[in-house]
Structure 1
Amino acid sequence: MSAAPAGGRRPGERPSGPPARPPAQRTGAPRPAADTSGAAPGAAPPGPVALAPAPGLWPALGAVYRAQLSRARVARIPLLFVATFQSLGILVLLRGVVDPGPGEAARAVVAGSTVLVVAFVALNLLAQHFGRLRASGGLDHYATLPVPAAAVALGTAAAYASFTLPGAAVTAVTGSVLYELPMGGLWLLAAVVPLAGAALAGLGAALGLLAPRPELATLCGQLGMSAALLLGVLPASRMPAPVQLVRDLLPSTYGVEALAAVLRPDPQWDAVAVGLTVCTVAGAAALALATWSYRRAATR
């Protein structure tokens, strides 16, 4: 028998001791960290994650409009019924003192009562809505959304103004029948209601956002609706000069005048054009004021 080689191992036999450690571990060098990124060896490190771009004004406006419309549909329909019933009551009440026919007084009563439906919802209710949002901290929710401030103010105002068209149409048709006025120009409601609604809704939103307390927002909304009532259903020629000046400052006045101009046997289209133009400018200014008021209230 041949003798075993030095070290007690036969040829081809593995050593029975513990396996030899790599040189890096034998010398005490730090072990490399494990790669958990899933990237291939030698690939560039990943950059910061890019967020989705914020939506533009019109998509955000449509989203806010649909959300407000769906939330307010159930709660606002009874209030819209109240607004319409209120205007119909004014038509019936004044029928006893105003003669029927295409006179100035009859046309002012019908046009003013029709626009009063818009004032009740767009001015009064919207002022209360934004006043409650500011007092309860609800504006903080909108401030965290990636939508422009103009989309929140305009979308909410448009949703509230949308509820006024059916009530305004019922009031205009009923008033025309009661006061024996021609109904051929009532199609102008499709322009008068949105423009007057935009002006009054912007004013109502600004009142609710600028009022320091929700009680004051409610008070301002009620006073604005009362002004639309008293200054809209009375003929301008029978008012004192100071009252006529206040009437000219109310945005809904020009919608009333445009609607009254088509309740004649011979509509005055030049007066209609002037009234709609001024109402458009007043609406743009009121909505700009509402947007500024929202930014101011949301960042304070």
Structure 2
Amino acid sequence: MTEPPGVSGPGARAATAPVTGATTAHAPATPAPLAPRARLWPALGAVYRAQLSRARVARIPLLFVATFQSLGIMVLMRGVVDGGAEARAVVAGSSVLVVAFVALNLLAQYFGQLRASGGLDHYATLPVPAAAVVLGAAGAYASFTVPGVVITAVAGSVLFSLPMGGLWVLVAVIPLAGAALAGLGAALGLLAPRAELATLCGQLGMSAALLLGVLPGGRLPEPVQWVRDLLPSTYGVEALARTFEHSPDWGHVLFDLGVCAAVGVVSLAAATWAYRRAAVR
């Protein structure tokens, strides 16, 4: 059998060989690799800035309410308290109450509404760690309390004639008490089955901080003292109250701040677990 004219040799056999590469056009395409998850600290900064910008307009009026509430409590208690441990407890408890109002009460309401409205689905689709979402929101809400706490502490010191040399400890009290209370507020909002229950839990928590924070622990019944010891804000109140003494025991102040920090870690870890639990439902 002769080959066609102009086509001869190995080239002819290669031209007539079956093309096997044509079938690869129908092979399934390899999916492109996903982008790596964001690291904790950059994601935390992004969530913090976003929450801070969102809540700036809506939360500032509530911050005024929290500050005026604490100032009113001190003015009211001035009529029945002259000085001593009671005055120190009133000023310290009223100052930390600003943190409880914003970081505990409002954050519980925020996460409760976010869960009820399906807003957690948005955060669940973002490639950010759950801890960054919780810590970013907690830090943003706690940041709003700084002016109110400082104003309340200074005004209370003047009202009750307390020394103000130790008010620099607010640099530690505000973030540590804010972390502890914000973690508790976030956990309550995420674990509550309905937004109304989250609001109720936040209000009850703030009321506990009010009733148990402005009275010296030694004057309370023993069962109530146990409840007071379980409240995250107690140790921030105790640390701040000790600084109003003429000769503060800084060892006890550091101990109270250490306990407050430990409680903050536990409460934020519980809030992170509650966020993961709520986001997958």
Q: TM-score, normalized by length of structure 1?
A: 0.84
Q: Aligned residue for 1:202?
A: 183
Quick one: distance in 2 between partners of 1:178 and 1:66?
36
Quick one: distance in 2 between partners of 1:55 and 1:127?
26
Quick one: distance in 2 between partners of 1:262 and 1:232?
16
Counterpart among 270, 274, 277 of residue 293 in structure 1? 274
Quick one: distance in 2 between partners of 1:115 and 1:275?
14
Amino acid aligned to 2:62: L
- Correspondence list, 1:125-164, <5 A: 125-164=106-145
Q: Aligned residue for 1:257?
A: 238
**Tell me, what secondary structure is at the counterpart of 2:236?**
helix
- Correspondence list, 1:18-33, <5 A: none
The Cα shift of 1:224 comes to 0.3
Amino acid aligned to 1:118: V
- Correspondence list, 1:1-300, <5 A: 48-99=31-82, 101=83, 103-300=84-281
The Cα shift of 1:48 comes to 4.3
Amino acid aligned to 2:106: L
**Tell me, what secondary structure is at the counterpart of 1:159?**
helix
The Cα shift of 1:47 comes to 5.9
Amino acid aligned to 1:66: R
Gaps of 5+ in 2: 1-11
Gaps of 5+ in 1: 1-22, 37-45
The Cα shift of 1:270 comes to 1.3
The Cα shift of 1:271 comes to 1.3
Greater helix share, structure number: 2
Quick one: distance in 2 between partners of 1:213 and 1:48?
40
Question: What whole-Å deviation, never above 9, does each CA across 1:149-175 have from its counterpart, x for those lacking one?
Answer: 111111111110010011000000000
Quick one: distance in 2 between partners of 1:197 and 1:96?
29
Question: What whole-Å deviation, never above 9, does each CA across 1:184-203 have from its counterpart, x for those lacking one?
Answer: 00010010010000000000
Amino acid aligned to 1:58: W
**Tell me, what secondary structure is at the counterpart of 2:161?**
coil
Question: What whole-Å deviation, never above 9, does each CA across 1:93-130 have from its counterpart, x for those lacking one?
Answer: 0000000x4x1000000000000000000000000000
| Amino-acid identity (%) | 77
The Cα shift of 1:90 comes to 0.3
Q: Aligned residue for 2:7?
A: none
Quick one: distance in 2 between partners of 1:89 and 1:113?
9
Structure 1 runs of 4+ with >2 Å offset: 46-52
**Tell me, what secondary structure is at the counterpart of 1:171?**
helix
Amino acid aligned to 1:255: G
Q: TM-score, normalized by length of structure 2?
A: 0.90
The Cα shift of 1:237 comes to 1.4
**Tell me, what secondary structure is at the counterpart of 2:89?**
helix
Question: What whole-Å deviation, never above 9, does each CA across 1:40-73 have from its counterpart, x for those lacking one?
Answer: xxxxxx9643332221011111110010000000
**Tell me, what secondary structure is at the counterpart of 1:147?**
coil
Moved more, 50-59 or 276-285: 50-59
